[in-house]
Structure 1
């Protein structure tokens, strides 16, 4: 916090980048906190609260003044939302507490392992900036392509006793400003079950799995590469922040207006499970075909285990087939994966792409490529087909012509596994 004395000495300074050398030295001397100094340099001072603004578009005091006007009924949730609001520098980093009555036309979409998804219309829309003239928040109420503001509500099962650790996972969404990771707008509560609900951006075309069901037979290789580039971009953004997704599968990839988005970052566990208890029992949460063999053996999830799942997803996008669609998803499959089993089909994949897929699902995590490397390679393949790439794609298309319907419909929910690591998996 800046003292009144410091504020008085610098309040009349202009834009930081037009300061004199003497003024710059004074700023460096007076503002010792590096975060406050960064905010001052980028956004200037708020004359109302006498502090550097966290954002060019608002001052954090506007959020703070409103804290007394709302509560989730849960102290941990309140503190979590307040903290994110005070540190938000960009509108995609803001989380709000949203009263349930601000939604209308709520309709059921799907049920997963740890949550139920609904679609709803948010009457208000999300915060973009502070409107100084009207002394209120300016909100976006109708995104492009919509007459109103549709959102997805993810009801988290057994979240009445939501943990602070799980809230930090929700906060991961606000850390990643990417066009290929879905935005989380805030938290609300289901008045009937008292479960908390995440308010997320809505994808009208559904999951990537649904997209493959509907479009695969007409998809060209460039379209498949577009999807993989989008996913690699999103995953690179996640890993760049030092985060791990932990639940990477086609059901957590969404399609909207020709783009692919990653959702449910870090949500592959019940909302009321403490990390310490997870470590104790070595339980595995996730969709079995996408879980890396080292995780099945009881190791921690890592960025490399995300890369393994990317390889499975890439194979699914290239062939249209859900992984291990003809095998029971049970402990025998888990053992087989640990022994080296990987998805296979007669569908031809260009060797340049297949080589990368096989690197991703290498049994040795250290031999898997990084997300940044995948992003660069796939973008290169998408943007410029050289003679060798064209030759491989043409060969694949010729061989695959005999497959009139490769994509297998998968209209159910993904089956989550939840068990202690079996001793047989450690062999």
Structure 2
């Protein structure tokens, strides 16, 4: 391996990366492009909080990888830096019950986690609300991937507690931002009537980026994350094209990182088109990997069973699933519905000769890709 700049090769202690963290999914960029109107709508909803009042509740919707989480995190960062408003971002893919959500709120407000057992929800809720009243604080809660609360039938109870906190504890000021990537989920219609009566959210929609916007955003990331000259225009254009095919900006960000690592494997100072094409085989599954990390063991088991019995009838899949888990048909059916709503499988009703209608279960991804990633979770 050469050690000089003249041969275009990296020495052992060099890197193509200026700042590798720029290519992490949770990185919040300094410049956030092509979402000006969405940011303004969110600021409008949050402005009352800056004046000490409850903010407007907001519903943020859009396909995966369209900047929803980044927009909210960017505004939360500004609020924390410039105001006394308390902000808490909850990942509902991880915290998918009312108790888990309020545990995150407790942790943010008191700077330590509540006891892992022995504390009722009622007590947890009271401590959070009373602290907000005592400090005269405004709390803004972002429930990210709120669709997971719906999948677990926890959404109505969670929102009811948040939105009616001021009734039980006069002076409690809590606003809610719901973030959902499930475009088939009608959030308001899916809530209990007791919650619908108080939840009238502002709606902010994040559309898919077009290829020029993707190029613009990825060019900015490459400029901050790579050393000068590592990724040229033709290479960035190819990354943008592949990203546009998926519709998910996170694919492009992951693709840049993996392409950079591939270049380093070759001890090259520049990313080639071959580095990108090779990296795409893994980067195109970034959404799949993220979805798998949010599943329980039994949900992952069912997905593995479906991969082994792709296209078979639900009854046959259940037999194999029951053999592995000993779980009953009711729980099995609930998991099937959840995986279907996550677009990991398609559960489609078909006519079966002599047996009426039955559901056939098909993976929405390549079976080998699913099984490989299940091993890594």
Q: What is the TM-score with the length of structure 2 in the denominator?
A: 0.24
Greater fraction helix: 2
Considering Cα pairs closer than 8 Å and 6+ residues apart, tell me whether 1 or 2 has the greater RCO: 2
